[in-house]
Amino acid sequence: MTGRKWDMGATRRVGRVFARRPPGADAPLDLVGSGKLDGALVDWAYYRDGRRDTRIGSYVDALTRARRGDGFVWIGLFEPNEHQLAVVGNQFGLHKLALEDATEAHQRPKLERYGDTLFAVLKTVRYVPHDDLTATSEVVESGEVMVFCGPGFVITVRHGDHGELTGLRQELEKAPERLAAGPGAVLHAITDHVVDSYLAVADAVQADIDLIEIEMFSPRGWRNIDRVYQLKREVLELKRAVAPLTGPMRLLSTLPHPMIGDDIRNYFRDVDDHLLRVKEQVISFDELLSSILQAGLAQVQVSENDDMRRISAWVAIIAVPTLVAGVYGMNFDNMPELGWHYGYYGALGLMAVACTVLYLLFKRNRWL
């Protein structure tokens, strides 16, 4: 969703909010120089009029200018620990409940409002390429991106080895008219990026489902039922990322907030529309795999019934010579044809005729 024109008036509308000093504004500001964010800080930049201001070499100066309403700061963190987030939270006046959620991964997608600050949790997903789908294949890998969006700042906290936002930052820096709209534009770009990744993953999973569907309805296809079950589990992983995000995205597209101007809210509606489309697609995946799984179980039952009929038919055929041999093996003196010269051959003939008749009957009824 690139190439759109942004309303430059958005910066003026939200600029008044930037001048508000959040709690903790008087705290020391030297985060980068002190080394407190070493290992967690991916990148930070100060943006003014939509462009990265490289002349601002001091993080303290950048944050001070942003708090006066002159541009904003965007900080990217990767899996920070509790102490590092506490330092950032003290600098920007972030709510402690939001900091606790940002420290722990495996959060449910959500949107929370703390004063003028928005806290969003987004699930990121990645399709894992594989040559052959097995019962233990990992198809969908998930991670998380937490976004703090407030007056004069955007803080992104990423969990997981994928979902990096470096490319997104570079893309936005090539479109200064978008960054000029303020932190709300960055929040939109991140949600747009995440939802677009859902669409890409859904298309890749669709190809896997089409393949397993063809294999499942091939001869002896029920042997692939474990692969269907594994793929269904991976689809549920995708569903857990997509479905809960519909509520927060609907709020972003309708909720009045100082960080989100009317023009940006319209773009959130577009993201919401894409999210609803991928949600419907994922739900259809789940239903289709459930149907394939049920068809596979039905194939197993049919195959077992066929095997039981074949076994029963052969048991019935073998029971005839067993019965005849058992009767004449009792060695009583007075038995029919016991003293007949051709009695042995007659017994064998009786067995053969009876077995042949039973075989033809079972064959006619498709038991064999």
Which pLDDT tens digit goes with each residue over 158-191? 998 777 788 899 999 999 998 988 899 999 999 9
Instruction: Give the largest Cα separation in the chain, rounded.
Output: 122
Q: Which residue has the higher pLDDT, 175 or 14?
A: 175
- Whole-angstrom Cα distance, residue 316 to residue 313? 5
Residue 109 lies inside a defined structural domain of this protein: yes
Two tokens at 238? 């995708």
> Of 283, 298, 313, which marks where a domain is finished?
298
Calculate the alpha carbon distances from 128 to 78, 132, 139, 202, 243 in Å. 21, 11, 5, 12, 21
Separate counts of helices (H) and strands (E) for the chain: 11, 7
Residue 237 within any structural domain of the chain: yes
209 within domain boundaries? no
What are the tokens at 225?
Answer: 């039922």
Domains identified in the chain, total number: 2
Residue 161 lies in a domain: yes
Q: Which SS3 state, helix, strand or coil, does residue 349 take?
A: helix
Whether the predicted pLDDT of 342 surpasses 80: no
Q: Write down the pLDDT at residue 187.
A: 94
Question: Same domain for 262 and 324?
Answer: no
Residue 4 forms part of a structural domain: no
Q: Is the pLDDT reported for residue 280 higher than 50?
A: yes
Same domain? For 316 and 183 the reply is: no
Q: What is the mean pLDDT of residues 141-157?
A: 91
The residue among 201 and 328 whose pLDDT is bigger is: 201
One domain, residues 185 and 48: yes
Please give the pLDDT value at position 105: 78
Shared domain for 73 and 187, answered yes or no, is: yes
Looking at 245, 271, 298, which one is the last position of a domain?
A: 298
Same domain membership, residue 113 and residue 43: yes
- The residue among 282, 298, 314 that closes a domain is 298
Nearest 10 degrees: CA dihedral of 189, 194, 197, 198? -130
Report the CATH number at residue 350.
1.20.58
At 36, is the pLDDT very low, low, confident or very high (cuts 50, 70, 90)?
A: low
Can you tell me the distance from the alpha carbon of 26 to that of 91, in angstroms, rounded to the nearest whole number? 8
Q: Inform me whether the pLDDT recorded for 77 exceeds 50.
A: yes
**Same domain, yes or no, for 330 and 222?**
no
Residue 24 in any domain: the answer is yes
> What residue type is assigned to position 332 of the chain?
F
pLDDT digits (tens, 9 = 90+) for 82-92: 888 988 888 88
Q: CATH number of the domain at 59, please.
A: 3.30.460.20
Task: Report DSSP state, residue 260.
Answer: B
Q: Are residues 15 and 60 in the same domain?
A: yes
Pair (329, 182) in one structural domain: no
State the pLDDT at residue 254: 87
Helices (H), 217-261: 225-242, 246-254
Do 138 and 232 sit in the same domain of this protein?
A: yes
| C-alpha to C-alpha distance for 225 and 47, rounded to whole angstroms | 54
User: How many other CB atoms are found less than 10 A from the CB of residue 241?
Assistant: 25
Instruction: Return the SS3 of 77.
Output: strand
Residue 291: partners with Cβ closer than 8 Å, 6 or more residues away: none
Q: Is residue 205 domain-resident?
A: no
Query: What is the domain extent for residue 252?
Result: 9-194+217-298
Residue 253 and residue 140 share a domain:
yes
Q: Is residue 163 part of a domain?
A: yes
User: Tens digit of pLDDT for each residue in 227-257?
Assistant: 888 888 888 889 999 999 999 999 898 888 8
Same structural domain, 15 and 124: yes
The verdict on 98 and 159 lying in the same domain is yes
